[in-house]
Amino acid sequence: MEVKNLKVVVVSDSSSTAIYIESTIYEALPGAEVYVALDELQGASLAKIAEPDLILVDISLLRKADIQIDRIFKNDKTLQLTPMLFVTDWEADRELHSRAIEAGAEAFLFKPIDRSLLITQCSAMAKIKERNVLISAQKVELEALVEQRTSALKREIAERERLEIELRSREEIFRSYIEKAPIGIFVTDAAGKYIEANAVACQMMGRAKNEVLQLSLSDFLIPDHLEQGIAGFSELTNKGFIDTEYRVRKKDNQEYWISLRATKINDNCFIAFCSDISDRKEKEARVEYLIYHDSLTGVHNRAYYEKELSILDTEENLPFSVILSDVNGLKLINDSMGHAAGDKVLVETAKLLRGFKRGEDRFARVGGDEFTLLLPRTSNEEAQTIVSRIQSACRQYKVHLLEAAIPLSVSLGYATKTGVAESFSSISKLAEDHMYRRKLLERESFHSTLLETLRVSLFERNHETEEHAARLIGLSRKLGRVMGLNKNALNDLELLSTLHDIGKISIDNSILLKPDKLSASEWVEMKKHPSTGYRIAMASTELRSIAEYIHCHHERWDGKGYPQGLSGESIPLLSRVISIVDAYDAMVNDRPYRKAMTKEEAIAEISSNSGSQFDPTLAPLFISLIQKMDIKL
């Protein structure tokens, strides 16, 4: 800025001094603009309007006690940038100079005013004003920048606080999700030590959280799975992920299975998700058990036999022997006593045969009534010895069914593979042929023994039945002779009199020996005995000739009998004979549910039912026979 264009406000309470200062400035600085004020308030007003480069103040103003130049000029923001130059004289005391400095004086100009000094001071004041303006502008700019930066920082801090609150909120939500998750979730460090675990994980481990966080993965694995667990953690460290299953234990040593999926977060942090799969493993074990086990006997089945055979059929297992066994009379037992009885025989047979299995042997049920023993590194002589021991054990073994002690009969066959070139199927065929030859020899003998056992058992259960059979034999033979039956028919009639009720062996004692009349459901069971007896007789060569007679001995001439509803002459003759004899004997002897009839009452009953229940030709013959007899049979 050029000094000649200087703006100056002169403040003096002496008009002569003000004019003096004004004229001096014009003389020194012709281009200057000078504004004169006779007191400080007027000077402040002019300064606010003119925006001068310099304020010249007469120091004499400071002699007035009520004048506060600093308050008027320097405390006014619009005038703070304008420098003040005090005009004084050499006679002014130091106190005034001090007050001038306190009021903000930049410099002093002494009277008489030197022209060159005035120019110098004005130039200096102009520069001070310019500097003050620049500094003020920079200050304003800096303050604006500071405000801007402060505002931005406040916004950043506020945003950071918001994000931290949101992060904490999300973290709490995430922790809540983890804590309430239906599966176990835990975190470990690189050493396998737990550093976090949710409620399900702690529950699965059977410990409180503070206990869990003191332990490591290895503390929960059962000893058999410890090596697998170490290998799994090593895989997790190297590959970053594992999906596996472990058997672990709780604090009380209760063992259970878990499914575990784990992921590597960083080198010292691993998160795992686990669930209890004990139920699934138990079901899998059950399925696997059923795949290779027979559900009835509990021994291994054919699938297991074939799998193990493929493993054992090797050169190092030679000589390799096999023993085949087949239960005798199973069909007869099923027919006579029911399939539950047959199942019991199979269970008992499996139990007996399994007792002869050695450490390396394999035993399985391979068919309905067939069992097999595989004997690795066993000679033919050793196999024969085992067969002999089994036969000896069977002779002493009894199965108790429906109060009958049934002998256990098993046909056995064996063979031995001694060379690699031999096929096991051919060896098995030899053993099978051997077994079936034995079965042909033993079958009839066993059936006869079993039938006698059943007959004796039936009679032991009900002594009246045995006495009833004895009476029927005598009475039916008499009627047969009257009818002119041949010897074979009379023999069949005697056998039929003894065994016509053999089917009752399958009826429960609560029905068979009931002292009252049978209920409808009990009669349904009772009416099954002719069919059961038929099946028993058909299973035996010696009884097959009377099987159909047994089947039909409760049929009626009018077709209202059971079990087939046959009528008239479609009912076998011997069945019609035994029907009349059986009914008469039942009427003239006491029954648990009624007293016996007299001979005359029984004859009248047969006569009245002739042509309906009984054969109308045989009924009169039988009545005539009875009337000629003197005693009641």
Answer yes or no: are the C-beta atoms of 230 and 242 closer than 8 Å.
Answer: no
| Domain co-membership, 240 together with 137 | no
| Domain co-membership, 488 together with 593 | yes
Structure tokens, 212: 């869990």
Judge whether 168 lies within some domain: no
Where residue 21 falls (left for φ over 0; alpha for ψ -120 to 50; beta otherwise) is: alpha
Amino acid at 432: E
Structure tokens, 292: 């290779």
d(CA 391, CA 385): 10
CATH code for position 309:
3.30.70.270
pLDDT of residue 23: 87
Judge whether 50 lies within some domain: yes
| Domain co-membership, 312 together with 256 | no
Closest alpha carbon to 370 in 427, 297, 315 = 297
In the beta sheet, which residues pair with residue 11? Answer: 37, 57
The model's pLDDT over 1-35, given as tens digits with 9 standing for 90+, comes to 456 678 899 988 888 888 888 888 888 888 888 99
| Domain co-membership, 494 together with 617 | yes
Is pTM beyond 0.75 here? no
| Domain co-membership, 398 together with 509 | no
Last residue of a domain, one of 111, 141, 171: 141
Alpha helices in 15-114 (DSSP H): 15-28, 40-50, 69, 94-103
Task: Give the 3-state secondary structure of residue 355.
Answer: coil
Q: In what order do the strands lie in the sheet containing 84-88?
A: 33-37, 7-11, 54-58, 84-88, 105-110
| Domain co-membership, 20 together with 136 | yes
Residue range of the domain that includes 579: 462-628
CATH code for position 558:
1.10.3210.10
Angle value at C-alpha 628, between 624 and 632, nearest 5 degrees: 105
Structure tokens, 118: 């005035």
Last residue of a domain, one of 221, 248, 282: 282
| Domain co-membership, 272 together with 187 | yes
- HEC assignment per residue over 67-84: CCHHHHHHCCCCCCCCCE
| Domain co-membership, 470 together with 607 | yes
In the beta sheet, which residues pair with residue 275? Answer: 259
Name the domain count of the chain.
4
| Domain co-membership, 425 together with 505 | no
Q: Which residues, 6+ apart, have CB-to-CB distance to 183 below 8 Å?
A: 200, 273, 274, 275
| Domain co-membership, 612 together with 506 | yes
Q: Which residues, 6+ apart, have CB-to-CB distance to 298 below 8 Å?
A: 347, 350
d(CA 496, CA 490): 10
pLDDT of residue 350: 96
Judge whether 160 lies within some domain: no
Burial class (CB in 10 A: 0-12, 13-18, 19+), 465: middle
For 53, 59, 77, 104, 125, the CA distances from 107, given in Å and listed in that order, are 14, 12, 21, 9, 9
Task: Give the 3-state secondary structure of residue 30.
Answer: coil
In the beta sheet, which residues pair with residue 417? Answer: 320
d(CA 345, CA 335): 13
CATH code for position 277:
3.30.450.20
d(CA 222, CA 208): 20
Write out residues in the chain with pLDDT < 70, as ranges. 1-4, 64-72, 74-75, 90-93, 402-403, 444, 459-465, 592-593, 630-633
| Domain co-membership, 436 together with 474 | no
| Domain co-membership, 432 together with 315 | yes
Closest alpha carbon to 383 in 355, 345, 413, 360 = 413
Residue 604 has, within 13 A of its CA and on its CB side, a CA count of: 5
